[in-house]
Amino acid sequence: MRRYFSIAGVLAALALLAVGCDSNDESGPTDAERFVGSWTAIAISDSNGDQSAEFAAIVSSLIVAMEEGDNPAFSLKVDYTEDSGRDDLTLAGTYAVDDGPRTLTLTIASGASLPFTYSFEDDSRAVLTTAAALVNPIFNPTTPYEGTVRVTIQKQ
């Protein structure tokens, strides 16, 4: 009988240890933490295919800097080429990441929001996807994007 209680005690202790070890506890960063830093656009496509060459013809660089905090902030800078005839663009505001549905929402200081879905290809590369109607007024492409736009960004 004593041996039975000893084995039961050991099993109970192991059960308590197993409960204390959460198998869902991920030691890696959250998606919001992964977005913190400076990112540059390296590719863009729409429903018609790769638009990177057309984008590069008018944009020297597109950089998004994302800061963490109680009210996470971002700054998006589009440096247009000299011969594009466009003024450089800077947008600032806050952002929110929801890693359940994998959405990133940029809210510009004026109150307008840009919702993206996202996926991480690795720790330094992500793909942001949204409707063309939302990005055309911002990027001002020579030929408007159609359908769904995918922007691949890389951490600097």
**Using one digit for the tens of pLDDT, what is the confidence trace for 46-76?**
999 999 999 999 999 999 999 998 999 999 9
What's the pLDDT band for 81 if we cut at 50, 70, 90?
A: very high
| Residue 148 contacts residue 130 (beta carbons within 8 Å) | yes
- The verdict on pTM exceeding 0.85 is no
Q: What is the mean pLDDT of residues 32-39?
A: 97
Of residues 92, 116, 108, 94, the one with CA closest to residue 44: 116
Q: Using one digit for the tens of pLDDT, what is the confidence trace for 87-105? A: 999 999 999 999 999 999 9
Query: Domains of the chain, with CATH numbers?
Result: 34-155 (2.40.128.20)
In the chain the first and final C-alpha atoms are separated, in Å, by 66
Give residue 109's pLDDT.
Answer: 87
**Maximum alpha-carbon separation in the chain:** 90
**Residue 5: predicted pLDDT:** 42
